[in-house]
Amino acid sequence: MKITSYEALCNLGNDINSIYEKALNGDTTIFKNIDGVLKESNIRAGVISCPLPKIDETDFNIRCNQAILKTLNLLDKEIEILKEKYIPDRIGVVVATTNSGVEEFEKTNNPKYYELGNPARFIRKTLGIKNFCTTVSTACSSGIKAFSLARDLLNNNISDAVIVACCDTLAKVPIYGFHSLEVLSQKPTIPFSKDRAGMNMGEACTVFITEKEADKGIEVMGIGESSDIYHLTTPDPEAKEAVIAIKKALSDAKITPDEIDYINAHGTGTIANDIMEANAIYSIFNNKTPVSSTKSYTGHCLGAAAGIETALCCKLLDDFRGKFYPNINADNIDPEISQINLVKKDDKYKKCKICMCNSFGFGGTNAILILGKNNG
């Protein structure tokens, strides 16, 4: 399976190119302080700031779908070529989200808004395609799980192409949930740092065109999935199942750990996640492979987190400039966690042919994606 086209939208910019420029430079400034949600504090969040198109059909007119439509419009030409290449019955849709329109439901009581399948049906109807259509919602691992399902559709000859979209927009329900867990920070999130105080929320949308048979594109080399039974919201600090997921992805890709050039970490900036993930990475890669979390720039985008991070990995593979995304405060890594190789802002690298993207969600859902491209 190859990713033949992709686009993105988040607080950093209105397309993948502008997002890439800011992320590569380690820009952590594009956040808003939102008041009126929590009584005692503001919320620091990465918010999509560009105008979003209104959707005429009321049942689909939610912010999540508006962001999807804006991102689809960035891929107008590529989608038209896709529809000419394949008949509508052979193009599928898989969406990753956790919120859908729960925020709009709170205001209107329209039950269509909180249905997780709403964004997938919207894409199917908007593009006039008629193949398999569904939504994946497995907390923060949803984006990679969506790629896993898309690959199954292609490999089992159910689809010739699958549009994978990952989208979540800000909503009070998850904000209240994370606040109750005491993992939100009003300060910039600094994953793996000894001074880390929690995560910032974010919203994002990505759209990927995936095809089974394509001459060019970024190859989905490997996917690894596993599940914990450790705790509903706290990851296993020993990272047993996370390690299994990484090993499965490497085996699926038929590569060794030394062949991974860069790891985009889940890196939420919370105490528990960073301990677990550093242990998982170190147990397989030691401190050799460059690692960073881009959530310092985008915030944690929930069901769209893996989507925006996958898009950032794709852009690295397409436009490598001798450096990876810096991990903010990399010089101040927590001495109590495994000492992984965090990327610093001025670090230079010679190649980027294979990237790994980590996602770990509540309920112990673990997903790893390995992407590759021959850059010569």
Q: Give 33-41's long-range contacts (Cβ < 8 A, gap of 24+).
A: 33/186, 34/170, 37/172, 37/175, 38/175, 38/176, 38/179, 41/186
Q: Among residues 133, 140, 167, 357, which one is catalytic? A: 140
Query: How many secondary structure helices (H) and strands (E) does the chain include?
Result: 11, 14
Q: How far apart are CA 371 and CA 2, in angstroms?
A: 9
Instruction: State the Cα–Cα distance between residues 31 and 351, nearest whole angstrom.
Output: 31
301 included as an active-site residue = no
Give the residues across from 136 on adjacent strands. Answer: 96
Q: Report residue 131 as tokens.
A: 């193949």
Q: How far apart are CA 252 and CA 283, in angstroms?
A: 19
Cα–Cα distances in angstroms (integers) from residue 236 to residues 140, 232, 256, 274, 277, in the given order: 16, 10, 25, 11, 10
Which of 133, 166, 300, 314 does the annotation list as catalytic?
300
Specify the amino acid at residue 316: L
Is 179 one of the catalytic residues? no
| Cα–Cα distance, 25 to 294 (Å, whole number) | 11
Rounded to an integer, what distance in angstroms lies between the CA atom of residue 339 and that of residue 85?
48
Which among 75, 80, 42, 251 has a CA at the least distance from the CA of 164? 75
Q: Which residues pair with 370 in a beta bridge?
A: 222, 356
Distance from chain centroid for Cα 146: 10
298 close to 49: Cβ distance less than 8 angstroms:
no
64 catalytic? Reply is no
List, edge to edge, every strand of the sheet that includes 32-34: 32-34, 43-46, 201-202
- Active-site annotation holder among 10, 166, 179, 266: 266
Give the number of residues written for the chain: 376
Residues designated as active site: 140, 266, 300
